[in-house]
Structures are given as structure tokens and as C-alpha cells.
Amino acid sequence: MKKLLVYLKDYKKETILGPLFKLLEATFELFVPLVIAAIIDTGVATGNTGYILKMSLVLVILAVIGLVSAITAQYFAAKAAVGFATKLRHALFMHIEELSYTEFDNIGTSTLITRMTGDVNQVQNGVNLVLRLFLRSPFIVFGAMAMAFTVDVKAALIFVVAIPLLSIVVFGVMLVSIPLYKKVQGALDRVLGITRENLTGVRVIRAFNKEESEIRTFNDSNEKLTQMQIFVGKISALMGPMTYVIVNTATVALVWTGAIQVNDGIITQGEVIALVNYMSQILVELVKLANLIVNINKSLASAARINTILETKPSMEKGVGEEVSGRQTDVAVSFEHVHLNYANAKEESLTDIHFEIKKGETVGIIGGTGSGKTSVVNLIPRFYDATQGIVCVNGVDVKKYSLEALRKKIGVVPQKAVLFKGTIRENLCWGLENATDADINQALEIAQAKEFVDEKGLDFMVEQGGKNLSGGQRQRLTIARAVIKKPDILILDDSASALDFATDARLRAALSKVSGQMTVFLVSQRAASMMNADKIIVLDDGEIVGMGTHEDLLNHCRIYREIYESQFKSAGEVK
């Protein structure tokens, strides 16, 4: 938590004034029992109505001042807590944006979202509560005991016994229940995990008729959670009865002792009432303090989780500058004996990948599922770094480029078509910020998306993830988004899987017309998608098993021939 407090440095005034105004409120609260004692002893005892009204006005003034102080303290505490959380959320988001794919794989997207939302909110609540109550509750407890000594030393000794007993009960129950609450949170996470999995995969569950099985699994986990919550609830419920037993016993002792001393003329009836009020204040504040500490523990746990993310350093080192000038070369991309091993993986995903691609060439990468096709193209824009070997773009090691300069040269269409909430125009302008209508129309024509975009219009609102578009429409828009930036290198990572063969053929024909201006990588499991490519790379289990033209591979590469025949045999087109 200490490392996160740096985000409070711009709120020093609020972090000081908030607790001070809360202590001011507490101070006035401690005077209330004395005023009531004066009303009883002087006003009620003598029937002095004027004095009663005057002291009642004092109570109202104390209440108003206390209320103003409490509102002011809440304002400053809330301002500091919200400002702290805002700065923390910004810093966390910026840090997450700098992480590489490796960190995203290891940490998990859902975990990062939880840190950004739930954990930051929990820390914000913790800061707010600390600024308002962390000093107030101890101040009231010890202040009430001190005030009791000003009333009567003998009666105040009861406070000396009662406060430690109350503290033992309150903090004892808290120490036992906090670890149990953590277990409850873990059980709740499991229930939420099962719920999320079932809602996400509801179609699969119904397709395999697994509803009853999943219901039983959910009920078992939910029952365990319920039992744990009941158990920890019983322990927490002990706090109320035990504290009230101690307080009521102490109150009986106060009344007993006070009655004897009142009878002996040592103290007054009003002072006995004041002592009882101070005892009640102590009970309330100790319970508040216990709840505060529980919330602080939750906030500290959330802060630790946030700090873990902030301390996660990107595994990918940044390049030296915005632009890197390499030697004059006609080689657009080269892999020099490249190996890739994903984090925590036992085996390599790519082994000794070595090839050169000239500028303006169209390259097909084909292979079975899990052969490493996507892994190869992910190394070009440095989504991952090679474990061994060198990947070069325009004759320069990609690690020497700044990430921004490198990725300006490359257009990527990922396997999963991802669109963002906004208009079609806004989504396409991700590729080229100041794109004109002519630029947009040209990109749409190449991507075979102009027909349906003309029907909907460029200002058609795309829902998050492109939910209101078909799979083929999403893919064509992502292709247009990459093409519009006119990159030196265009990577199409199985980006036509949702397109029919006719649309796919038109797309490849359109790309071939501009391929002289850019180097194109076509990743696909369709042999038809790359038959006319200048070069085809065949992968199997992370290794290159064939490289050449379509005709060469049919004659000399068994795996490519098997892929080709499996796709064309039924049509009688085997060459």
C-alpha cells in the first residue's frame, strides 16, 4: 500500500483537513454527556426551565457544529479518495498498455479487468474510511475514558477494565473471521467462475445435454459457499452479544457504584448518566473500529494485487528510437534461425525458422492446427520476441525499432476480428487517423466490404465487438482497417475464414493489384488462398518442412500435397 500512496501526493491538504475535521466533530461529541449532566443536576433538579432551555440550545449548537465538521471531513476525504483512485486507475491502465502479449498470457485479461475495477474501488473505499475514521474511533475511546476520569476516578476504573475486555472480544472475533472471509471470497470466486463459464458456453452445454450435470456442479459449489458463509456469520455474530454483555455489566457496575457515591454525596445523578453515555460511546466506536479494520484488510489485499501488476515489468525491451535507417536492401522480412518458446511452455513453438521475403512479394504460410503459423507472423510486429535468432524488417533487427515506428510499417489483421464501439468510419480511421472518403472507399473495395457498407453508411454505429455485424462483415472491415494505412507489410492471419470462396477469391485478386506496393503475408489453412503466392511456407510442429511455389510444393512436399488433396479431391481437381 505504501507504494500506492504516491498517488495521494497531490491531495496533501485533503488528507490533513479530513481527519482534523473528524477529530473536531469527535471533540464536540465528547462534551455532550457533560452538558446533559449539567441539565440534570442544575436544570431538572432545581426545576430551572430557563437553564434547561439554555443548555438545550448548547446541545443544538454542538450538534450543528458536529454536523458541519462531519460533512466537511467527508468532503475532503471523498475528494482525496476519488482523486487517488482516478490517478491510480490511470497509472494502472497506462502500465497495462505497455505490457507485452507474454504478460497478458501469464496474468490473464479477466484478472487485469478485476484489478482495474473491483480492486481499485476497494482501495478507494479503504482510503476514504481511513481518512474519516481511523483517528476518530481511537480518539473517542480514549477520550471518553479520559473524560470519565474528570468526572470520577473510582467510577472511571470500571472503564479501565471494560475497554481491554471489549477490545479482546472485538479484535479476537475480527482476527478469527478475517481469514475465514478470505476463504469465503475464494469460494465465491469459484461460484462466479462456474457461472461465467456456463453463461459463456450455454450453447455448448445445451448441445451436449449437460444442463443437469452443470446444475449439480453449481449447486455443490454454491452449497459449500453457503455453509462457509453461515459458519463465519455465526462467529461474527458472537461480537454483538459478547460486547453487549460486557457493556451492560460495566453499565450495571457504573450504576451500582454511582448510586452508592450519589447516596454519599460524592458525585451527582447527572454525572452517573454522563459515565453511562461515555460507556455507550466506547462500545459504538470499538465496533466501528473493528469493521474499519476488516475493510482496511480488504483494501490492503486489493492494494497488494494492484501493486503486483504495477511491479510487473514488460518482458519486451523498447527500441532505440522512432526511426531506424538500415542498409539499402530489397529484403522486406527475414528470419535468421529463429526459435520461440512461450513463457512456462515446456517445448518450443518454433524451431530454427529461416527465410527471406523480398519487398512486394506475397507469401503464404500454411500448416495444420498448432503448426506455428500465427507464432511466425506475431514475431514480425514484435507481439512476441524470439527466444533465439533474429527477425529483421528492411534489414534491421526488429528489436532496434521503437514499437511505434515498427508497427507503423505493418498492418495486421488478426485471427479474431475485433471491432470497437463507434461508427464504421471511426473504426476504419484506427488505421489512418486522417483518412479521406477516397482512402476509405479504396480500402473497402480491396476488402470487398464496399457493397454492405454503402447500404449501411459510414456512420452506421458498430456495437462493441461488432455484435450487430456478421462474421464475414467483421472480417472484411478489419481487413479494410489494415489496408487503409497502406503499410509496407500486410499480415492477414487467417482473416478470410468467415468468407465464402468467391469473396475470398475477389479479395486475393484485389490484393494482388496492390501487392507490388506492399509485402503480403497470407496465413491460412486453405490451399486455394495461396496457390498464386510468390512463395509458400509450409509449417509442421513449429518447423519449416517446405518452401517454394505451389507447383514446387505439390511435387516435393508431402504435407502440402496432403493438405491440397484433402481440400480438392472431392471436387476432382487434384493436380
Q: Are residues 154 and 270 located together in one domain of the fold?
A: yes
- What percent of the chain is modeled with pLDDT above 70? 96
Neighbours of 235 (CB within 10 A): 14
Sign of CA dihedral 85, 90, 91, 97: positive
In a domain, 14, yes or no: yes
**386 vs 542: CA distance, rounded Å:** 13
**138 vs 559: CA distance, rounded Å:** 76
- The answer to whether 363 and 520 are in contact (CB under 8 A) is yes
Q: How many domains does the chain contain in total?
A: 2
φ, ψ of residue 410 in degrees (nearest 5):
-125, 135
Q: Are residues 288 and 421 located together in one domain of the fold?
A: no
Of residues 429 and 513, the one with the higher pLDDT is: 429
CA dihedral 339, 340, 345, 346 (to 10 degrees): -10
Position 432 pLDDT exceeds 90: no
**474 vs 477: CA distance, rounded Å:** 5
Cell representation of residue 498: 468467415
Neighbours of 191 (CB within 10 A): 15
Last residue in a domain, options 467, 486, 505: 486
Of 113-127, 179-193, 326-340, 466-480, which range is least confident? Answer: 179-193
**496 vs 570: CA distance, rounded Å:** 22
In a domain, 572, yes or no: no
Q: What is the 3-state secondary structure (H, E, C) of 472-490?
A: HHHHHHHHHHHHCCCCCEE
Cross-strand pairs, 540: 543
Last residue in a domain, options 486, 505, 523: 486
Cell representation of residue 454: 454503402
Mean pLDDT of 31-42: 88
**52 vs 148: CA distance, rounded Å:** 23
Of residues 491 and 498, the one with the higher pLDDT is: 491
Mean pLDDT of 411-419: 88
Neighbours of 349 (CB within 10 A): 19
**431 vs 419: CA distance, rounded Å:** 12
- The answer to whether 184 and 229 are in contact (CB under 8 A) is yes
In a domain, 571, yes or no: no
Closest listed residue to residue 379, CA positions, set 491, 267, 292: 491
Domain ranges, residue 436: 415-486
* Residue 333 neighbours by CB under 8 Å, 6+ apart: 356, 357, 380, 391, 392, 393, 489, 519, 521
What pLDDT sits at residue 174? 76
Label residue 90 left, alpha or beta by phi (over 0 means left) and psi (-120 to 50 means alpha): alpha
> pLDDT (tens digit, 9 = 90+) per residue, 480-492?
999 998 889 999 9
Q: Are residues 153 and 32 located together in one domain of the fold?
A: yes
**At 571, is the pLDDT very low, low, confident or very high (cuts 50, 70, 90)?**
very low
Cell representation of residue 559: 504435407
Q: Are residues 206 and 74 located together in one domain of the fold?
A: yes
In a domain, 283, yes or no: yes
**63 vs 29: CA distance, rounded Å:** 8
3-class DSSP assignment, residue 410: strand
What pLDDT sits at residue 574? 45
The enclosing domain of 467 has a CATH number of 3.40.50.300
**523 vs 497: CA distance, rounded Å:** 10
Cross-strand pairs, 532: none
Closest listed residue to residue 355, CA positions, set 383, 328, 374, 380: 380
Q: Are residues 426 and 301 located together in one domain of the fold?
A: no
Mean pLDDT of 297-304: 80
**Mean pLDDT of all residues belonging to the chain:** 86
Q: Are residues 301 and 439 located together in one domain of the fold?
A: no
Cell representation of residue 235: 462467529
Beta strands in 402-472, from DSSP E residues, in sequence order: 410-413, 422-423, 461-462
Strand 519-523 with 489-493, pairing: parallel
In a domain, 388, yes or no: no
* Residue 377 neighbours by CB under 8 Å, 6+ apart: 365, 412, 491, 493, 521, 523
> pLDDT (tens digit, 9 = 90+) per residue, 374-400?
999 999 999 888 999 999 998 899 988
Mean pLDDT of 503-513: 82
**308 vs 115: CA distance, rounded Å:** 10
In a domain, 331, yes or no: no
- CA 177-178-180 angle, 5° bins: 65
- The answer to whether 449 and 469 are in contact (CB under 8 A) is no
Sign of CA dihedral 138, 142, 144, 145: positive
Last residue in a domain, options 310, 343, 374: 310
HSE toward the beta carbon, residue 236, CA cutoff 13 A: 15
> pLDDT (tens digit, 9 = 90+) per residue, 441-455?
999 998 888 888 988
Residue type, 364: G
Q: What is the pTM of this model?
A: 0.74
Q: What angle do helix axes 269-310 and 12-38 make, rounded to 10 degrees?
A: 160
What pLDDT sits at residue 516? 64
In a domain, 259, yes or no: yes
In a domain, 370, yes or no: no
> Would you give the DSSP letter of residue 497?
T
- The answer to whether 170 and 238 are in contact (CB under 8 A) is no
Neighbours of 287 (CB within 10 A): 16
Sign of CA dihedral 126, 131, 133, 135: positive
- The answer to whether 236 and 177 are in contact (CB under 8 A) is yes
- The answer to whether 372 and 523 are in contact (CB under 8 A) is no
Q: Are residues 304 and 441 located together in one domain of the fold?
A: no
Which alpha helices (DSSP H) does 201-318 contain, by range?
202-207, 211-237, 239-263, 269-310
Cell representation of residue 262: 450519589
- The answer to whether 108 and 312 are in contact (CB under 8 A) is no
Cell representation of residue 469: 455485424
Q: Are residues 47 and 178 located together in one domain of the fold?
A: yes
Q: Are residues 298 and 428 located together in one domain of the fold?
A: no
Number of H helices, E strands in the chain: 21, 12
**At 320, is the pLDDT very low, low, confident or very high (cuts 50, 70, 90)?**
low
The enclosing domain of 79 has a CATH number of 1.20.1560.10
Of residues 193 and 48, the one with the higher pLDDT is: 48
Q: Are residues 151 and 266 located together in one domain of the fold?
A: yes
**394 vs 486: CA distance, rounded Å:** 16
